[in-house]
Amino acid sequence: MISTNPVYTGLETTIFETMSRLARQYDAINLGQGFPDMDGPEEIRRLAAEALLTRSNQYPPMLGLPELRQAVAETASRFYGLEVDWQSEVLVTSGATEALSDCMAALLQPGDEVVVFEPLYDCYLPLIRRAGGIPRFVRLEPPHWQLDEAALRAAFSPRTKAVLLNNPLNPATKVFSEAELSQLARLIIEHDAIAICDEVYEHIVFDGRRHLPLIMLPGMRERTVRIGSAGKTLSLTGWKVGYVTATPALLDPIAKAHQFTTFTTPPNLQYAVAHGLSAGDSYYRGLADELQRKRDRFSAGLAGLGFRVSPVAGTYFIVADFSGRDTDEADVDYCRRMTVEARVTAVPLSAFYEAEGPRRFVRFCFSKRDEVLDEALSRLAAWR
Ligand code: PMP
Ligand code: GLN
């Protein structure tokens, strides 16, 4: 046998791809993988199409088109009062996933510990491990997803190099409070560690909440890497345009990892995303308001069918406890049967835990047209 790297060898296909394939096979409504079924603003898509014909299609600058780096810096200032030098502190990547990969490659050395929060996004553990890092888990449990201060402290050690925080948290739909972020910041500073903040859902928070980037907390500016994505902010998940903001000492090695990973991202998409990010406040408010309305519509529908629905503070997912629906099967089996029999697809929550995840919860994505959500609900009602 030829030996290949153990981190990736034998690794299962991600739950998102697995469930999407199953959904296609059974012609199910796919509320599993997280993507909107309506593409982002037409004006932005037109700009991308025109740019393909009228602007350069050759390598853009390695750090990203100036227009987009400026737009990322401007939105940081506009939404959070975070002042950023677009030339030395912003990098464009091919999606937040590439940004995360660059961060792990550039910031970790073998044996470094990284504090992570379960439930966690699928790429985190392989990327940490491939870089030689060792994950230290802090576990959050449904339905309240409370962060236990003692558990948080226990995850830190003298070998802690970084904390990887997803806020708002997919799939918990939790938005970390200022008090929780302060606790975390204190520990990070105490351990002289780096915060890597996956904030792709920064603009999808509900009920009047405001996203607070960890980088804004006292003492965090020089030790935080902030990651965003046009996939979520502009509802263009297939474009894979992401951006990283960090102090030059951190951004520089991250950019070097990027330089030998993708080097760049399609220039027409960067150009269009720059315009998209510069949209007026009404665009951003509209995104959150519209998703909040869908959250309420779909939560009410699920609750009426016997699902116990956890409160959703941010992201476009709902976690629902299905144990009130007369079954004691595990989430993985339930999701499979729901796809095959009801022709509605969700993802099992346990997939977001390294081991022994909760077994009676599923995640639905509600970023879909109302008629699609309603049809999913009526299929689930008939299934019962
Ligand atoms: N982080 C989280 C928490 C996500 O949900 C996603 C999926 N959008 C990503 C990162 C990846 O983002 P991208 O598609 O920009 O790579
Ligand atoms: N972020 C999406 C989710 O949580 C999945 C993206 C992907 O499939 N790579 O569902």
Q: Which amino acid is at 187?
A: L
Look up residue 113 and give its DSSP letter: E
Rounded percentage of the chain residues whose pLDDT exceeds 90: 98
Atom of ligand 2 at shortest range from CA of 14: 8
Q: What angle do CA 47, 53, 56 make, to 5 degrees?
A: 95
Give start and end residues of each alpha helix (H) in the chain: 15-25, 42-54, 66-80, 86-89, 95-107, 124-130, 149-155, 178-190, 230-233, 248-259, 267-277, 281-304, 331-337, 370-383
Mind listing the pLDDT tens digit for each residue in 274-299?
999 999 999 999 999 999 999 999 99
Q: Which amino acid is at 121?
A: Y
Whether this prediction's pTM lies above 0.85 is answered by yes
Cα of 170 vs centre of ligand 2, distance in Å, is: 9
Cα of 217 vs centre of ligand 1, distance in Å, is: 24
Using an 8 Å Cβ cutoff, are 310 and 173 in contact?
yes
| Residue bearing the CA closest to ligand 2, atom 10 | 34
How far apart, in Å, do the first and last CA atoms of the chain sit?
Answer: 49
Mind listing the pLDDT tens digit for each residue in 73-99?
999 999 999 999 999 999 999 999 999
CB count within 10 Å of CB 26 equals 16
Using an 8 Å Cβ cutoff, are 339 and 364 in contact?
no
Radius of gyration of the chain (CA): 20
CB count within 10 Å of CB 222 equals 12
Asked whether residue 384 carries a pLDDT value surpassing 80, the answer given is no
| Residue bearing the CA closest to ligand 2, atom 3 | 34
Cα of 53 vs centre of ligand 2, distance in Å, is: 31
Helix, strand, coil shares of the chain, percent, nearest 5, are: 45, 15, 40
Compute the average pLDDT of residues 322-344. 95
